[in-house]
Chains A and B, each alone.
Chain A
Amino acid sequence: MTSIRKRDRKQIAGRVALDIPEGAYVNLGIGLPTLVAGQLPKGREIILHSENGVLGIGPPPAPGAEDGDLIDAGKSPVTLLEGGAFFHHADSFSMIRGRHIDICVLGAFQVSATGDLANWHTGAADAIPAVGGAMDLAVGAKQVFVMMEHLTKGGESKIVERCSYPLTGVGCVTRIYTDLAVIDVTPQGLRVVDRVEGLSLEELSRLTGMALVEHAPAAHAA
């Protein structure tokens, strides 16, 4: 694997950010997806939504300028852009469930070949469950991007035929961004959009545990 140039977390975030168009309303899930905010291309006007009732999230506040009443869904202090708005929780989830959010970016434990998402529960008997807005985002956003490491620490693919973890949503994921590749979930199956330098399609298929097919025509490599 030494010749493979894996994307680090910031590079995965940067790759996701490339696919977010001007004018998009976007929800970034807690954890890894929050890195996308810092990678959005300059000059593109993109409106970030957070479940707790805000549109138009700006850059992080300067140290000392945090306000406990202005936070995001991860409960981190944020700022508000000019044009931003506040609203209550039912309105916030109307935006999500009502298909007004163009893209949400979520982390995942597993994604299946048909776009099933597992990201809220490990299934362990003693685990305390917590779901938050993940199930609403999974069914509600027009496009669901997943951002995750391709393999577990044990080297198993997180892209699987069928999820073994409890599901967050069925057939909801539209595109997967990993440290190795970008893969679309299509009605015809998974389609590789791009893969990192030094990684062949055969090797990517071997690591993923299933035969992967490239998009035709071949999309750009990042």
Chain B
Amino acid sequence: MINKIVETLEQAVAGIADGATVMIGGFGNAGMPSELIDALIAQGAGNLTIVNNNAGNGDTGLAALLKAKRVRKIICSFPRQTDSWHFDALYRSGELELELVPQGTLAERIRAAGAGIGAFYTPTAVGTRLAEGKEARRFDGRDYVLELPIHADVALIKALRADRWGNLVYRMTARNFGPIMASAARCTIVQVQETVALGALDPETVVTPGIFVQRVVRVAAPAALERAA
């Protein structure tokens, strides 16, 4: 019997290695798998490369991982925010490498990895410093730059509901990077608010099919909902 549901957060993050590339879902705090990140901090893996849209907000979630100095490099589109003080300090002191990627290029590089695409040309960033050093090519009178996929060892994402096969549905804009990161990592670990019986999810509305998911753990009260309440 296939059962991807594990009992504890500790089991969920077991085996993540030093030096791993870890995609972390979420846009700001929406969809941020904070409990999985806390479990990763407790697990102890370091020297990580993190892929996320941002670089942590406040003191929790990704910001806490940065504060714990487990991150060597971050690949993101928008690190600078009013509450990104842990990133700001580590970046300024040279302890953290930044690869800045336009948001749509970030999403497409992740999608490409999951879809088995070797590289792609995009018009985004043509003529800017973010395209410097990249192969350029003109198609049908328009300029493009070559971008490579971003593969990950692990993805940590948050969804609303899962069954034991790992089929997922999300909640509103908390979906954001979840589906594409799930496809781009060798081991996708999902925290959900609720696990349901096989067959309880309407197959027409499954957003991430279980083929992209390796582990599921239930976290009863997601932090974002508590904050919203």
**Chain A residues within 8 Å of B, Cβ to Cβ:** 50-54, 66-72, 75, 80, 86-90, 92-93, 96-97, 116, 121, 126, 128-136, 139-140, 166-170
Contact = CB atoms under 8 A, between A and B. Distances in A.
B88 interface: yes
Contacts of B27: 52-53, 71, 75, 89
Contact of B124 (A51, A69, A136): A136
Contact of B127 (A51, A53, A132, A169): A169
Contacts, number: 149
A172 B28 CA distance: 28
A167 B104 contact: no
A128 B177 contact: no
A135 B125 contact: yes
Given A71-B27, A168-B128, A169-B128, A97 B123 contact: yes
17 contacts: A51-B104, A52-B176, A68-B225, A68-B227, A69-B30, A69-B173, A69-B225, A75-B27, A86-B173, A88-B178, A90-B107, A97-B123, A128-B79, A135-B102, A136-B124, A167-B129, A170-B128
A129 B179 contact: no
A128 B108 contact: no
B104 A71 contact: no
Nearest to B174: A69
Most chain A CB inside 10 Å of its own CB: which residue of B106, B176, B178: B176
A135 B108 CA distance: 14
Contacts of B80: 128-130
Interface string B102-139: 11111110110000000000111111111000000000
B170 interface: yes
Contact of B30 (A68, A87, A93, A128): A68
B104 A97 contact: yes
Interface in B73-110: 77-81, 87-88, 91-92, 98, 100-108, 110
Contacts of B170: 86
Contacts of A68: 29-30, 224-225, 227-228
Contacts of B126: 139, 169-170
A-B complex: 10 closest residue pairs judged by Cβ atoms = A93-B104, A136-B104, A170-B127, A68-B224, A130-B80, A90-B111, A89-B107, A68-B228, A133-B103, A75-B28
Most chain A CB inside 10 Å of its own CB: which residue of B29, B79, B104: B104
Contacts of A75: 27-30
B128 A135 contact: yes
Interface residues of B, number: 52
B180 interface: yes
Interface of B: 27-31, 53, 77-81, 87-88, 91-92, 98, 100-108, 110-111, 122-130, 170-180, 207, 224-225, 227-228
Given A96-B104, A128-B87, A128-B92, 8 more contacts: A53-B173, A54-B173, A88-B177, A90-B111, A132-B77, A133-B103, A135-B130, A169-B126
Most chain B CB inside 10 Å of its own CB: which residue of A72, A90, A133, A167: A90
Nearest to A70: B172
A130 B88 CA distance: 12
A69 B172 CA distance: 6
A142 to B, nearest CB: 13
Contacts of A86: 170, 172-173, 175
A86 B29 CA distance: 17
B30 A71 contact: yes
Contacts of A50: 173
Contacts of A132: 77-78, 102-103
A85 to B, nearest CB: 11
A112 to B, nearest CB: 12
Given A88-B175, A88-B178, A90-B180, A139 B31 contact: no
A69 B129 CA distance: 33
Given A52-B173, A139-B123, A168-B128, A88 B103 contact: no
Contacts of A131: 77-78, 100-103, 130
Given A68-B224, A136-B102, A136-B124, A130 B79 contact: yes
